[in-house]
Amino acid sequence: MTMTLRINGQEKTFDAPPDMPLLWVLRDVLGMTGTKFGCGIAQCGACTVHVDGKPVRSCLLPVNAVGDRAVTTIEGIGNTDAGARVQKAWLDIEVIQCGYCQSGQIMSAAALLAATPHPDDSDINAAMAGNICRCGTYVRIREAIKRAAGEREEAKNG
């Protein structure tokens, strides 16, 4: 089936079975490998992308359910204000170890900050508990989210 999706602001036309999860369209059809496969059952969050700004697990989202909503992936999240701040904070705090889960972590964190500019610990827990990190970078993820939230504040005041 021929479909068109709006991904990171660009229209992409491709053929895929309608029930194919968005994850595999991104990775195997479009070659956008930044979004990761971790579990296939929405347990780990490695495949998180944004659909109209909301975080979703692309491993379970059939591509024909996306419709004309805007898809943002890790390759494009740096073009959003929250995404750029999260990426910078991730490097400033040196969150990342193996990095495999971090596309998903960054996508979840960017969605959190876009919706909740000043998250407290319970907001962070609620937004990030769906993302597993096997290297155990959680302590620094929490710190980096707070750093990214603070930088928005600095930018406003400065």
Closer residue to other proteins, CB minimum distance, 103 or 149: 103
Among residues 10, 156, 157, 158, which is the contact residue for other proteins, using CB under 8 A?
10
x/- mask, other proteins, residues 39-78, rule CB under 8 A, reads xxx-xx-x--------------------------xxx-xx
6: left (phi over 0), alpha (psi -120 to 50) or beta: beta
User: Which of the stretches 50-58, 112-120, 131-139, 149-157 binds other proteins when contact is defined by CB under 8 A?
Assistant: 131-139
Provide the residue type at 87 as one letter: Q
Q: At what angle do helices 121-128 and 138-157 cross, to 10 degrees?
A: 120
Quick check: 153 and 81 in contact, CB under 8 A? no
Question: Which tokens go with 56?
Answer: 């979703």
The Cα 46–Cα 23 span in angstroms is: 10
Using CB under 8 A as the binding rule, the residues of this chain from 102 to 121 that contact other proteins are: 102-103, 106
Residue 55, φ and ψ in degrees, nearest 5:
-75, 130
x/- mask, other proteins, residues 12-41, rule CB under 8 A, reads xxxxxx--xx--x--xxxxxxxxxxxxxxx
Least distance from other proteins to the Cβ atom of residue 157, Å: 25
Count, residues near other proteins per rule CB under 8 A: 66
Question: Which tokens go with 106?
Answer: 């960054």
Q: What are the residues binding other proteins (CB under 8 A)?
A: 1, 8, 10, 12-17, 20-21, 24, 27-41, 43-44, 46, 73-75, 77-78, 87, 90-91, 94, 96-103, 106, 124-126, 128-142
